[in-house]
Amino acid sequence: MSMNKISLILLFLPFLGLAQNKLVVEVEGVESSSGNINIAIYNKEEGFLKFENVFLSDSTLANAGITEVQINNLPNGEYALAVFHDENGNNKLDTNWLGIPKEPVGFSQARMKTFGPPSFKECAFRLSSDKAIKIDL
């Protein structure tokens, strides 16, 4: 393949939806430095908040106050994030017998409702360039 063709392909990548973006997530309200902050990224409404439908996930050590997580190489698209502070480090969201989280949770663009979590649409945002978002626990 000639250098001109490669240059042309690289020029049009962003327009083909293949652009890679950096997402910086600032998780605020982290009460302690124990455990991890876990992030699940979903790219479709179907199966939102189901572990088997996670598009991408990441985890970092918790830092009291604000914990920052940087996700690289996300293609252009619509995403919704679910975050939880895994305070005891068991790699799962602990819940009570009713399924209500016992560990702090947060979502992109939305908050927990009185009777359950928000929907994908309530949490969704478009990503077409590098972006920083804040999520409160």
The alpha carbon dihedral of 93, 98, 102, 107 has a sign of positive
Residue 117 pLDDT greater than 70, yes or no: yes
pLDDT tens for each residue of 82-110: 999 999 999 899 999 988 899 999 999 98
State the pairing for strand pair 105-107/56-61: unpaired
pTM for this predicted structure: 0.82
Second-level CATH architecture of 19-136? Sandwich (2.60)
Phi, psi (rounded to 5 degrees) for 5: -65, -40
pLDDT tens for each residue of 8-64: 455 555 555 456 899 999 999 999 999 999 999 999 999 999 989 999 999 999 999
- The Cα diameter of the chain in Å comes to 62
